[in-house]
Amino acid sequence: MNNALPTMDVLQQRSPTIINQKTECRTCSSHTETNNLLWLCPTNLEILRPHIVTYVNQLSDTIRQTCDNEDFIEQEINNNKIFQFFLAPTNTLSTPTTQNPFYLTCRQIITAELVSLFRGKYKYKKTLHKMILDSFYNLTQLIKCIIWKPRNEAFKKWKASKNINKNTCKTYHHNKRNQAKMNERTHLLMIFLQRLRITDLTIISYVKDISIKRPPLNRYKIIASHLYTRRQATLDIME
């Protein structure tokens, strides 16, 4: 699993000047928002609880109506580790961790716990696979609608309050790339001057100043060579 979601910690790494230190959770503001804690935030889990209960009831009815075997046991769903936290009374179970099947489901992984609800209940594999994929899709979309979409709306409001827009980020990254290129050119130029054994601070300062205009690197070499030739000619005359 890669941490590809643009949570606040990721955005701060990409644009530290813009995001600054405002990396708290958009829902509860009590912890740093990361790709892990986004799905395990206690406030988000409590908001999600009634929706998961409704989903479990619908899933139970669907399996009961479509399964080919009559040995469906509703307790299998109630004891399933994906839903166990939400079906238990509030504050009776600890918050799920990153090892919990619910968290893995949030990260778009079909777990063995989900598959076990359907295995042995359908005669044909095609039907079995369809039921697994459909239930997985419905569950992940539910989680996305309840947790991710409201978080994005809150983030948009926060950006508007800080006058941060698309152009702000675009300009920041554009300037950052230009500065990196300028530093690279200056570094290459200094290496070139060292190879010419030019130690005159006046020449070095002059050449570094013109590097701000960022001409092609070949022009640096021409200018440096010209200055070096003039310097050598001056020394010859003095001798």
Which pLDDT belongs to residue 226?
Answer: 61
Residue stretches of the chain with pLDDT short of 70: 1-3, 21, 70-72, 185-239
How many Å apart are CA 127 and CA 113, to the nearest integer?
A: 18
pTM exceeding 0.75: no
The contacts of residue 143 (CB under 8 Å, 6+ apart) are 39, 48, 105, 106
In terms of phi and psi (left: phi > 0; alpha: psi -120 to 50; beta: otherwise), the region of 60 is alpha
Which pLDDT belongs to residue 237?
Answer: 43
Which pLDDT belongs to residue 239?
Answer: 44
Contact 189, 211 (CB under 8 A): yes
Which pLDDT belongs to residue 5?
Answer: 87
Which pLDDT belongs to residue 225?
Answer: 63
Contacts for 65-72: CB closer than 8 Å, 24+ residues apart: 66/122, 66/127, 66/131, 67/121, 67/122, 68/121, 68/122, 68/123, 68/127, 69/120, 69/121, 71/120, 71/121, 72/121
Q: Per-domain residue ranges for the chain?
A: 8-164, 167-238
Structure tokens at 17: 């000047």
Which pLDDT belongs to residue 103?
Answer: 95
Which pLDDT belongs to residue 236?
Answer: 47
Helix (H, G, I), strand (E, B) or coil at 133: helix
Which pLDDT belongs to residue 143?
Answer: 96
